[in-house]
Amino acid sequence: MNQNEMSATTVAPLSLNEKPTRHWLRAVAWVLWIFFAILSLALGWFYFTPQGTKVREIVAEAVYTSKQTKYTWLLVGSSGVEKIKENFRRQAAANHLVKQDMSLVKVAPPNPSHRITPSSLIHVEDIRGETYVGKIMYIKDPRYIHVVASHSPGGEKVSNMATRENALAAINGGGFFLTDRMEDMTGPEFEGVERIMHPLGIVVSKGKKVIGDEKAKHDIVGFTKDGVLISGRYTYDEMKKLGVQEAVSFLPRLIVNGKPMITEGDGGWGVAPRTAIAQKADGTVMFLVIDGRAIHSFGATLKDVQEELLKRGAVNAVNLDGGSSSSMYYRGKIITNPSGMVGEKPMPNAFIVSNPVLENGGSVAYQARKEKYS
């Protein structure tokens, strides 16, 4: 074999190896080009078309209400953020002005001869809308509903609070804000806690104030000693005069005296996971939790929640903390899909439903409780 023949046999395999490499690089380049082209078109639609602008505003409202306010300007700019803030201020100022007619709800008095069971107390059904799925729970007797506060300064999962109280069911309650743990916060209760969870407003459980300024007015949602759902803005003294036994703080009110509070737009809170509480004229309470930020359920507006509760006969209804806080517990497990990165997240408080089997004979215990608070 001469030198030219040897060169031919060694060069040919290198040429074969280089060809697929060039094809692979060309394919990657095409994929990247297509990706950036699609991204550019999507961003153009998102920022420069009327339809995209509407979607962007809805997303911005959802981001703002999820406590990620520092990122909202990326979507709507500083002027858009100020517009959202002003809408919230206006909504909060007007939301409490409608006076609730407490006589519209008639809770039947306890019947000592009728023993309530878990199955007769609670019924759960699925709900579905165009952009969401969720659960709605009916509680026949509201006097089994209580507020439970977290035992940890960093908050507690709803399932943990429900299990600790031997509850039959539960949903997340009022809002909160977080602060960093201080160096002087020591003790076993602070073990593993990096951030302190502070409940918004005021919290009342079984007739006793857990936390809150007694002189300030708070936007509350709770229950009187007669089992009537109450909402609005009150001081602690006003709450005591009305016989409020259970309460957390959040807003807005969605339905008051059978009439919708959102009459224009979608409520201004964007699309997100939702939790709400409502009551029908016969006293039946509805817990509503809608999944969100997921493929199976994008989320709901406040108007969506209002409509779901109105068509089920709600006389009064209030929005509770939503987003990654939203969760519903029933018979030993979470039955909705919390949207947090690690699933269910800690909360400052929850509404629980006591198990009638554990309540000293069920409805008989209501009469004793009623006499105690009368």
> What's the rounded Cα separation, in Å, for the pair 245 and 52?
46
Nearest to 337 by CA among 149, 329, 123: 329
Residue 27 has what pLDDT? 81
Residue 14 has what pLDDT? 47
Residue 113 has what pLDDT? 81
Residue 155 has what pLDDT? 97
Residue 11 has what pLDDT? 47
Q: Give yes or no for a contact between 91 and 268, defined as CB atoms under 8 angstroms apart.
A: yes
Q: Give yes or no for a contact between 134 and 291, defined as CB atoms under 8 angstroms apart.
A: yes
> What's the rounded Cα separation, in Å, for the pair 18 and 158?
60
Torsion of CA 159, 164, 166, 171, to 10 degrees: -30
Cis peptide before 252 (omega within 30 of 0): yes
pTM over 0.85: no
Residues 6+ apart with CB under 8 A from 128: 134
Using alpha carbons only, give the angle 250, 84, 292 rounded to the nearest 5 degrees. 60
Residues 6+ apart with CB under 8 A from 361: 115
Residue 145 has what pLDDT? 98
Residue 361 has what pLDDT? 47
pLDDT tens for the 374 residues of the chain, in order = 555 554 444 444 545 556 667 778 888 888 888 888 787 776 677 667 777 666 666 666 666 666 666 667 666 677 766 776 777 777 777 788 999 999 999 999 988 888 899 999 999 999 999 999 999 999 999 999 999 999 999 999 999 999 999 999 999 999 999 999 988 888 888 888 999 999 999 999 999 999 999 999 999 999 999 999 999 999 999 999 999 999 999 999 999 999 999 998 888 899 999 999 999 999 999 999 999 999 999 999 999 999 999 999 999 999 999 999 999 999 999 999 999 888 899 999 999 999 998 865 444 344 434 433 33
- The pairing of strands 167-172 and 328-330 is antiparallel
Nearest to 231 by CA among 148, 330, 314, 353: 314
Residues 6+ apart with CB under 8 A from 173: 147, 248, 250, 320, 321, 347, 348, 349, 350, 351
Residues 6+ apart with CB under 8 A from 112: 363, 364, 367
Residue 31: strand pairing partners: none
> What's the rounded Cα separation, in Å, for the pair 217 and 251?
13
Q: How many residues comprise the chain?
A: 374
Q: Give yes or no for a contact between 227 and 143, defined as CB atoms under 8 angstroms apart.
A: yes
